[in-house]
Structures are given as C-alpha cells and as structure tokens.
Amino acid sequence: MSLRPAIRATKQSFYSWINFVFNRVDYNRVKEVGADRAAAEWALRMGGAVKFIGQQDWTRDYNKIPIRPRRDLLLEAIDMSRTSIIDIGLEHLNGLEHVWLVNLSKCNYLLDGSLTHLMCISDTLCHLDISYCQSITSDGIPALYELKNLKCLIIEGNDGMKMIKELQEHLPHCKIN
C-alpha cells in the first residue's frame, strides 16, 4: 500500500489552509488602517499590485505602500492576475469607494460564486478582467449583470464566452472582449 495519495491529500489540505489564512480579511486591521490600506496590504501579500489615486506607478512591494493619512490613501486599481486568491479574499473589496479597475486574469482558484463579491464596488468598477480563470464558467456570469457602470469586460479563455450575447443585453454600454 502506497502512502503517496495520503501525503498528496495532506499537502493539498495544508496548502488550502495556508491559502485561506492569506486570503481572509482581518477586520481588526481594516478598523485600524482603513479598507483601502488593508486591501492594498492583502493584494501585495498575495503577489498582486495596486495603484492609489494620485500615484503614477503601480505599487508591487508591500514595503512601498505610501505613508499617508487614511483619507489620502485611496485605491483606484487592483491587479491580482496570476495570484492564488480565493473567493473570501475578494471580501477585501468591501469599503472601497474609488476602485475602477480590477484584474483577476488567470486566477485559477476563483469560482463562479466569487464574482458576487464585485457587487460592493459596482458603483465605481469600470474595467474588469476575468480572462483565463479556469474555474469561472457561464454559471457565474449572471453575477456580472448588475455591474451597470462596467465599460470594459475581458472574459476571453473562459466558458463565459458562450454568454457574450446575454452579457451585451445586460451591459449595453460595456465593451466585451
């Protein structure tokens, strides 16, 4: 009898647990530093990048988050492409009031239900990239119908490509690639 399947299952459980720990929201931290900084810290910890209002370049280093008062440190864009985020990580979007761009391309652990977390930024979200997210299917696409301010949606490489006609009906002002 081989122990390899048991070891593989143990490793998968361990990595799933680690991924959960890195993605969960620390509400005490949000209260301490504000939603924008807490979300930026999460994004950078996960290997993403962020852009703050008034900042020319993307921040990719956790230690280079600008030191500013909470009211002056506002996120406008989040690039989480190719990171190991899971749906609970997107709870970091709660409380963000200025994010207009979110890139989730090639995030293989996001599921159909993950897209519902985008509703909390639906008033400001204009550009969304969910291309090549292997676990997002046409079943998750209806969650995007409520993103009425969306101007650009990139969904190439997904099962959701089958639903472009329905998306265009629900999001008539959105360019869908």
Structural domain for 35, as ranges: 4-176
The count of domains in the chain is 1
Taking the model in full, what pTM does it have? 0.87
> Based on the number of CB atoms within 10 Å of its own CB, is 18 exposed (0-12), middle (13-18) or buried (19 or more)?
exposed
69/118 Cα distance (integer angstroms): 26
Q: Which residues pair with 138 in a beta bridge?
A: none
pLDDT at 3: 47
By the 8 A CB rule, do 117 and 142 touch?
no
Q: How far is CA 73 from the centre of its chain?
A: 19
**Positions of the chain with pLDDT under 50:** 1, 3, 5-9, 11
pLDDT at 131: 93
pLDDT at 8: 44
CATH number at residue 133: 3.80.10.10
By the 8 A CB rule, do 63 and 128 touch?
no
